[in-house]
Amino acid sequence: MRNNSIVKECRLYLGLPTTKTPFKDIILGSLTSLIAIISVIYFSQLCLNYINVTEQVSYNTYVLISIAATSVLVFAIPHGALSQPWQVLAGNVVSALLGVLSWKYLGSNVIVAAAFAVALAILAMSYLRCIHPPGGATALGAVLGGDAIHELGFNYILVPTLLNSVIIILAGIILNYPFRWRRYPSHSYFKTHSEGKISPGDRENEITIEDFMKSISEHGSYIDITDEAWVEIFENAKRHAELDIEHPTEIAAGFAYSNGKIGNKWEIRQISAINKQSVKFTVLAGINSGSFGQCTVNEFVSWAKFEVDQNTFGVWARTSEYT
């Protein structure tokens, strides 16, 4: 038993996930990235020929080395937050700019220039919300890429950085599109993906961590977060459900409120009339939907947990005032 505990602890320290990426997704990620890298090299060279760049140039002047890491993100983790078009495009381009500037103004000391290039890239990507790990390599490449890269100067931002980034994004959209569960950008998947939603009124069982982790494994595409982080998110959600027991300080006619329960205990009530002593309400959702009721103001406030609105998908959710 103790040996199992030690093995489990080692797995956690090493970050070995328990959820597995489907084999078909592994194969598709490899094949689509193969086609994508060929496309980057071929079309980048084609573009250079089109603008009459005829002299012999080395591959690293029109193929961004860090685009390989970008390819891993876009094709192995197409729904990852760090893989999306804004992150790919802005993350690489901003990092390339800062890398070139670091070389131009700090290039007399290569170590300092390289360190500043990466540090500034992280700072800028964080501020602009375009964190893209290959961006650090893009910035570093501007400093350590050798004479061929240095001679490009600010052209490094356009070719290879911008050109390669655009090609890889287009490849991600086109190559992932035939596979519904892999569609890129992630919004393309979530916009068309429709699972049968269960309203609180139809629920009979509490969600467990096993249910939660099974749902993650059924997503079909790798999600870049550790098992322990998933568990923490799940437990925090349960904690908030227990702790967020605030009641509205003011209630008004025309507004809807939820008691925050699940299953048959869940109910949405809308106030139809209110005075200092009593509240008249209509039950909009729950087992008693369509019925009417009346109670004192204090009783209604004690019953209500938060104000709700029905969103465009017909789902009841907290209003922003109480989130």
Mean pLDDT over 141-159 rounds to 93
pLDDT above 90 coverage of the chain, percent = 49
What's residue 125's pLDDT? 97
Confidence check: pLDDT of 322 > 50 = no
Torsion 308-312-315-320 (CA) sign:
negative
Structure letter (DSSP) for residue 274? E
Confidence of residue 204 (pLDDT cuts 50, 70, 90): low
What's residue 321's pLDDT? 46
Confidence of residue 82 (pLDDT cuts 50, 70, 90): very high
Could you tell me which residue, 3 or 81, shows the higher pLDDT?
81
What's residue 311's pLDDT? 75
Return d(Cα 303, Cα 247) in angstroms, integer.
Answer: 8
CA angle, 71 then 76 then 80, to 5°: 95
Which tens digit of pLDDT belongs to each residue from 93-112? 999 999 999 999 999 999 99
Task: Answer for the pair 42, 28: CB distance below 8 angstroms, yes or no.
Answer: no
What are φ and ψ of residue 296, in 5° steps? Answer: -75, 165
Is residue 200 reached through a cis peptide bond, with omega within 30 degrees of 0 on the bond before it?
no
- Total residue count of the chain as it appears in this document: 323
Which tens digit of pLDDT belongs to each residue from 21-30? 788 989 999 9
Could you tell me which residue, 195 or 60, shows the higher pLDDT?
60
Confidence check: pLDDT of 298 > 80 = yes
Residue 189's H or E segment, with its range, is helix 186-192
153: its two tokens: 């100067």
What's residue 52's pLDDT? 62
